[in-house]
């Protein structure tokens, strides 16, 4: 499978560009987001990721399994991969020390630099499944043996980039408020998204070894993304005031990604 392709490279870089552009908000805004705006952005990001998990990953996974002759058992790869993604992220959450998005500074972590590093680590860890998701749909398209089109893969990249934009801002703005320079806050925020093209390239390379594993990889990426939504984004969006606004943001993000997938796919 040849991955040295200009269109593919652009496709896998789009989500990273979304994070970088969002992080650049630190240069144009004088203060951190208010709680209301933060809730809207978290809800919106959750909605985009949830719709992408269903329309761009789980449904294609079952379609691929069905076209491979599994018939009514086509749900097996989807369920297997989905649960594997959930449990892998659950294990990483316990094995790798990091701050949850809605947590306070852990005991003994008084250093601002230490907190900043842990915050970026948390977001970087949770960006990897999004990179996998982009990689696996482009791998499906490149294999030539699936129903996944370039437009469909591009729709997923654009959708993830859209939800990465507020995510990048949510990282860089608080870092600047905690005392980091604007340049440093931007770099930290942008670097948190660099893992996405890395994850995409690794996934494309691995999927070339076994095209038959594509349904499992698609659903695995979906499970990992849903874990991030349920464990990190939704709890933060639902905590305290303005939870109803976060729900509206979720609905808008979900519908936007659904429309993108159907119209471009």
pLDDT for residue 64: 85
Query: Structurally, how many domains does the chain consist of?
Result: 1
CA distance linking residue 125 with residue 168, whole number of Å: 14
CA 213 to each of CA 11, 121, 204: distance values in angstroms, whole numbers, following the listed order: 22, 29, 12
177 found inside a domain: yes
64 found inside a domain: yes
User: What is the token pair recorded at 61?
Assistant: 């996974």
pLDDT tens digits, residue range 48-87? Answer: 989 989 988 899 889 888 887 888 898 999 999 999 999 9
215 found inside a domain: yes
91 found inside a domain: yes
1 found inside a domain: no
Decide: pTM greater than 0.85: no
35 found inside a domain: yes
122 found inside a domain: yes
pLDDT tens digits, residue range 115-147? Answer: 556 666 666 776 888 888 888 888 888 877 566
Residue 101 has pLDDT above 80, yes or no: no
Residue 222 has pLDDT above 80, yes or no: yes
Please give the residue range of the domain that contains residue 221.
6-102+111-264
């Amino acid at each position: 499978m040849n991955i040295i392709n200009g269109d593919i490279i652009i496709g896998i870089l789009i989500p990273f560009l979304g994070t970088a552009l969002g992080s650049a908000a630190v240069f144009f805004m004088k203060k951190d987001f208010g709680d209301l705006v933060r809730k809207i952005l978290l809800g919106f990001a959750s909605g985009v990721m949830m719709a992408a998990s269903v329309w761009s990953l789980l449904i294609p996974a079952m379609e691929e399994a069905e076209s491979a002759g599994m018939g009514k058992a086509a749900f097996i790869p989807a369920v297997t991969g989905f649960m594997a993604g959930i449990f892998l992220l659950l294990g990483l959450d316990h094995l790798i020390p990091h701050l949850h998005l809605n947590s306070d500074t852990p005991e003994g972590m008084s250093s601002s630099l230490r907190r900043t590093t842990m915050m970026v680590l948390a977001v970087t860890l949770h960006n990897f499944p999004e990179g996998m998701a982009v990689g696996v749909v482009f791998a499906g398209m490149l294999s030539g043996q699936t129903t996944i089109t370039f437009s469909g893969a591009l729709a997923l990249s654009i959708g993830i980039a859209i939800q990465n934009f507020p995510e990048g801002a949510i990282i860089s703005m608080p870092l600047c408020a905690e005392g980091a320079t604007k340049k440093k806050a931007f770099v930290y925020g942008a670097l948190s998204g660099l893992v996405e093209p890395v994850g995409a390239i690794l996934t494309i390379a691995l999927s070339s070894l076994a095209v038959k594993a594509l349904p499992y990889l698609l659903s695995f990426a979906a499970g990992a993304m849903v874990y991030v939504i349920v464990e990190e984004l939704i709890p933060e969006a639902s905590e305290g005031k303005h939870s109803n606004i976060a729900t509206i943001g979720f609905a808008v993000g979900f519908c936007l990604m659904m429309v993108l997938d159907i119209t471009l796919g």
